[in-house]
Amino acid sequence: MERTLLIIKPDGVSAGRTGAILSTVEEEGFRILALQKRTLLRHEAEAFYEVHQGKSFFDGLMEFMCSGPVILCVLEHETAVSKLRALVGPTDPAEAEAGSIRQLYGTTIRKNAVHASDSTENGEHEIGFFFSTRDLLQS
């Protein structure tokens, strides 16, 4: 079984879409292994998105990701990464397939409701960034 990280971003949480997004994920066969709600501190967001440091959108992304609570989810499925990426759709909600999470709940490239790991390796790294082994053993 593969694991991946899903983050419901501040726009998804503030719009009251958490339940709908989690329901969609479960209906698609994902198992939720760990879940937490928190507001990211600036240094956490900077470390998590370090691959984007120096890019023109970085500061705006940091402001946005720290602007309110997020929901952090560890998901499990046989093909967790590829299945979740297909379910959330492309970064730009305007380009997302009808019925995808970003098409339904995203409004802009930045305010696109969710983050999903883009590879198995990144998924494991991102999970470890927010969750301890103990968090995952209890599931």
The catalytic residues are 115
Residue appearing with tokens 């969609």: 24
Q: Is 116 helix (H, G, I), strand (E, B) or coil?
A: strand
- Alpha helices per DSSP H over the chain: 10-14, 18-27, 42-48, 58-65, 80-88, 101-105, 120-130, 133-137
CA R_g for the chain: 14
Q: Which of 105, 108, 127, 107 shows the shortest CA–CA distance to 116?
A: 127
